[in-house]
Amino acid sequence: MSYKHGKPGRSRTTLKSPETASQGQLSDTKDTLGKKFTLGKTFTLGKNSVLGKKPRGKKPAGDRPPSSALWASEAAQIADAAPGLVGVAARAPAASGIVTVRPGWTCDLSAIDPNADGGLDKEKAKEALIAERARIKALQERLYAEHQRSLLVVFQAIDTGGKDGTIRNVFEGVNPQGCRVWSFKVPSSEERDHDFLWRYHAKAPARGMIGVFNRSHYEDVLVVRVKDLVPDTVWRARYGLINDFERMLTVSGTTVLKFFLHISKDEQKERLEARIAEPEKHWKFDAADLVERKSWDAYQAAFTDALTHCSTPEAPWHVVPANRKWFRNLVIARTIADTLEAMDPRFPEAQPGVSEMKVPD
């Protein structure tokens, strides 16, 4: 299925729905929050409801579809009002082995095997990664030269989930001038004095750039929720606000690609033990991670809800089985390369007569 908009005779934008993306085991289970709450100002969710379905019982006042469902028609209106602004949401299905969360479904992480490797051979996968990196590099040059649109790649995972390793492996060889990586830590006092999206918006990629978020605006519905840093009503309202933020970025020319690195609790134990046992990994060890590990279940619940409520047609979540690093690297690199290819960045037209020009002595 695809969403099309634009008037006949005008160039059309096609948004591929995640229904065309890779299929996975997603189940229609209960919301982990288990109680009624409001997603931003746009949608009220009932106890057993799933985004995209009407809550049972009394229709809540001001009930509207989730904001993502409005995307196609709103984008069409914006395109009519400001031609040339939209045309940017090209998106490719995720590489085989990744589970794309479809809007309207509840993501059940326990149904996705973190050990999955697609039956691939490790050595062949490492070779294939080199080829995917070359594709990313070539397409990035076009994106930079075109200077019209941008790509934002978001990585979220539990501690030791592999965000740093993925970035190192996938973006190796990419021109640093066209790519910026931002890691988000505990907010500074200045950042805390602004709205929660302020620091992320400031780092969103400029035209022509690939931006990489190592942690992101999702921390504000993850760690903030697990550690009870703000009242429930505050973080619950953020799902809708995040969807609106990502839709705004998309409409403004940024394709938003979100990866959740899915590891098992046993794998985290092994990775933490390696950080203790191997001196060259000591710098990575943070005793705070041992404390956070005790909240494993609370984090899984928070991830589940973020993935469920913030998978929209323009920016669905991709769940990556991430116990096997070589598999994780390959499927993420392939998805990024496919997405850039779908965006189809073009070198700008040459100045007229350039090939006849002579350089003076």
Give me the residue label for tokens 């041992």.
290
Check residue 21 and report its DSSP letter: S
Size of the site for ligand AMP (CB under 6 A): 9
Stretch that binds ligand AMP, among 56-64, 142-150, 182-190, 247-255 (CB under 6 A): 182-190
Q: State yes or no: residue 1 binds ligand AMP (CB under 6 A).
A: no
Q: Is 286 in the site for Mg ion (CB under 5 A)?
A: yes
Give the Å distances, CA to CA, from 140 to 286, 336, 337.
Answer: 35, 10, 9
Closest distance between ligand AMP and the C-beta of residue 232, in Å? 16
State how far the alpha carbon of 39 is from the alpha carbons of 24, 78, 88, 198, 234, in Å.
25, 23, 26, 20, 10
Tokens describing residue 320 = 């990556």
Interface mask (CB under 6 A) for ligand AMP, residues 280-319, using x and -?
----------------------------------------
Question: In the range 134-163, which residues lie near ligand AMP by CB under 6 A?
Answer: none
Residue 350 engages ligand AMP in binding (rule: CB under 6 A): no
Residue list 149-178, contact with Mg ion (CB under 5 A): 159
Q: Which does 215 bind (CB under 5 to 8 A by kind): ligand AMP, Mg ion, none?
A: ligand AMP
Binding partner of 165, given Mg ion, ligand AMP, none, CB within 5-8 angstroms per partner class? none
Cα–Cα distances (Å) from 336 to 12, 60, 75, 255, 332, in that order, read: 23, 40, 24, 11, 6
Q: Which residue matches tokens 């049972």?
A: 56
Instruction: Classify burial at 206, counting beta carbons within 10 Å of its beta carbon; exposed 0-12, middle 13-18, buried 19 or more.
Output: exposed
**220 contributes a contact to ligand AMP by CB under 6 A:** yes
CB nearer to Mg ion: pick between 108 and 159: 159
Report angle CA 237, 239, 245 to the nearest 5 degrees: 105
Tell me, rounded to whole angstroms, the distance of Cα 58 from its chain centroid: 34
Q: State yes or no: residue 297 binds Mg ion (CB under 5 A).
A: no
Among 187, 197, 285, 296, binds ligand AMP (CB under 6 A): 187
Q: Is 184 in the site for ligand AMP (CB under 6 A)?
A: yes
Interaction between residue 290 and Mg ion (CB under 5 A):
no
Piece of the chain touching ligand AMP by CB under 6 A; list 45-53, 128-136, 216-224, 257-265? 216-224
CA distance 166 to 1: 31
Contact 326, 268 (CB under 8 A): no
Q: Is 262 in the site for ligand AMP (CB under 6 A)?
A: no
Q: Tell me which stretch binds ligand AMP (CB under 6 A): 39-47, 138-146, 181-189, 348-356.
A: 181-189
Among residues 81, 186, 350, 354, which is the contact residue for ligand AMP, using CB under 6 A? 186
Q: 308 burial class (0-12, 13-18, 19+ CB within 10 angstroms)?
A: buried
Judged by beta carbon, residue 113 or residue 286, the one nearer ligand AMP is: 286
Q: Rounded to an integer, what distance in angstroms lies between the CA atom of residue 233 and that of residue 226?
A: 14
Given the structure tokens 């690939």, which residue do they identify? 210
| Residues making contact with Mg ion (CB under 5 A) | 159, 286
Residues that bind ligand AMP (CB under 6 A): 184-187, 215, 219-220, 223-224
